[in-house]
Amino acid sequence: MATLVIKEGEKPYIEDIWSLDDFRNVAEGYDKETFTDDELIEAMERVADNFDANWGITWETIEAALDVIVENRKGEKQSDHDSK
């Protein structure tokens, strides 16, 4: 996924692009969960906000961000149930 970019007149750099489709592909691995595009974007924001250059972005960091969304859903369902 990483690409060396060399542009004339600029210093070379490496970019590592993760797209919504990458997050969607990880999300498809969840048997009992589905994710909206908004939730996938929320996961992208979480990964970006918690980025650590020592670890980078991996399939596991994407999965961890999706796991947080699943856990938040469970918390919301429990709160709804408790308030009834």
In this prediction the pTM is 0.82
Residues 22-63 have pLDDT tens digits of 999 999 999 999 999 999 999 999 999 999 999 999 999 999
DSSP string, 31-81: SS----HHHHHHHHHHHHHT--TTT---HHHHHHHHHHHHHHHHHHHHHHH
Residues 53-68 have pLDDT tens digits of 999 999 999 999 999 9
